[in-house]
Amino acid sequence: MKSYRKELWFNTTQRREYINITPQVQAALLESGISEGLVLVNSMHITASVFINDDESGLHADFEKWLEKLAPEKPYNQYRHNGFEDNADAHLKRQVMGREVVVAITEGKLDLGPWEQIFYGEFDGKRRKRVLVKIIGE
């Protein structure tokens, strides 16, 4: 069995952002030389997510609205976590949107459904953060 590890780095210009990282994961898969196996993609931060969904801007606006209803960013003092920080909402949003995804690799390709795309979901950005890509197989 072969394994391959890569970190993807991000530094968003906004506090919250969704980035389609499918091309970077595909590139890592090519670099790995693995044609049958599994790829794990996970956020290495507790205020960011990796998830799979549609690359459609209306849906992303709906995510933003929905998550703001569930865990509004402000007022900051509504959260006990916000003593030294202001990112309690980002921890909660990440919990809902998930930490990681696992995708099957078949014949050297990501075996995704027709509309499935892999996203990095940032909820407390404007700083350098990373995603782990771990590929195992043969």
**Distance in angstroms (rounded) separating the CA atoms of residues 96 and 112:** 22
Q: Which two tokens stand for residue 117?
A: 């795309």
Find the length of the chain. Answer: 138
Residue 60 or 94 with smaller CB distance to Zn ion: 94
Q: How far is the CB of 90 from Zn ion (least distance, A)?
A: 7
- Footprint of Zn ion on 74-93 (CB under 5 A): 85, 87
Q: Which two tokens stand for residue 4?
A: 């391959």
Question: How many residues form the binding site for Zn ion (CB under 5 A)?
Answer: 2
Q: How far is the CB of 76 from Zn ion (least distance, A)?
A: 11
Q: How far is the CB of 86 from Zn ion (least distance, A)?
A: 8
Q: Are 1 and 105 in contact (CB under 8 A)?
A: no
Residues that bind Zn ion (CB under 5 A): 85, 87
